[in-house]
Chain A
């Protein structure tokens, strides 16, 4: 079974803090994604990566950055957390092998910025 893990289930940070959310997958997937999910807005793509050291902006990249130094690990960074970044953050991975593109999600990190 594909396993995607996220570093924390719940996180509380203060405004202005630098926040790191980490995601690790164990299926050797090339593609990794970061989403945020808010009531009424659905899943919104923040950043994604097709390979090590590669990154591309999604639909809402402002206020975020990412790092992918190893294939299995994809980090989301909030440079200076703000209250409007309080949300559920979801990491996912997929493989283009066989053109499947099925995304497998982690359990999510509920981030609260106060």
Chain B
């Protein structure tokens, strides 16, 4: 069964304490992996798309990487404003335009 699993479910960091969020997937024929940020009470905000193993994308303190089985969202020297839920989603062949979403990782960064 196609599945996307994110870990940990929740992560608490001190400001400046770097860490990584994990998104593992068990889909065949991956066409794209997407990262989103969601603030409480708001819609998800698109961050990155990764298409192939070895690809990396960066935006400010965030860097996303992709292997054949998982993706990591690395957060370097996080700030309190990075606190949010981070969602991972995948798109694969035979799914049309639908994405499969993970449950998300709730990140809290304390000053």
Q: Are B44 and A90 in contact (CB under 8 A)?
A: yes
25 of the cross-chain contacts (CB-CB < 8 Å) are A4-B43, A31-B97, A33-B98, A42-B101, A42-B102, A42-B104, A43-B101, A48-B98, A50-B96, A88-B41, A90-B44, A99-B32, A101-B32, A101-B97, A101-B99, A102-B46, A103-B34, A103-B46, A104-B46, A105-B36, A105-B43, A105-B44, A105-B45, A107-B43, A108-B42
Asked if A96 is an interface residue, CB under 8 A from chain B, the answer is yes
Size bracket, chain B contacts:
20 to 34
B49 contacts chain A at the CB level, 8 A cutoff: yes
A94 at the A/B interface (Cβ < 8 Å)? yes
* Residues of A62-114 contacting chain B, CB below 8 A: 88, 90, 92, 94, 96, 99-108, 110
The contact of B41 among A31, A43, A45, A108, by CB within 8 Å, is A108
Bound Cα distance from A10 to B29, whole angstroms: 39
Contact pattern, A 11-52, Cβ under 8 Å of B = 1, otherwise 0: 000000000000000000011010000000011010010100
Residues of B within 8 A of A92 (CB): 43
When the two chains form their complex, are residues B43 and A108 in contact, meaning their CB atoms are under 8 A apart? Answer: yes
A33 and B36 alpha carbons, distance in the complex (Å): 16
CB distance from B89 to the nearest CB of A (A): 8
- Expressed in whole angstroms, the Cα–Cα distance for A102 and B99 within the complex equals 9
Task: Pick the 5 closest A-B CB pairs, nearest first.
Answer: A105-B43, A31-B97, A43-B101, A42-B103, A108-B43
Interface string of B73-101 (1 = CB under 8 A from A): 00000000000000101010000111101
List the A residue with the shortest CB-CB distance to B31.
Answer: A99
Q: How far is the CB of B18 from chain A (nearest CB, A)?
A: 26
Inter-subunit contact A101/B101 (CB<8 Å): no
What chain A residues lie within 8 Å of B101 (beta carbons)? 42-43
A107 vs B45: C-alpha distance in the bound complex, in angstroms? 9
For B91, the closest partner residue in chain A by CB is A101
- Whether B31 pairs with A101 at a CB distance below 8 angstroms is yes
CB neighbours (8 Å) of B36 from chain A are 105
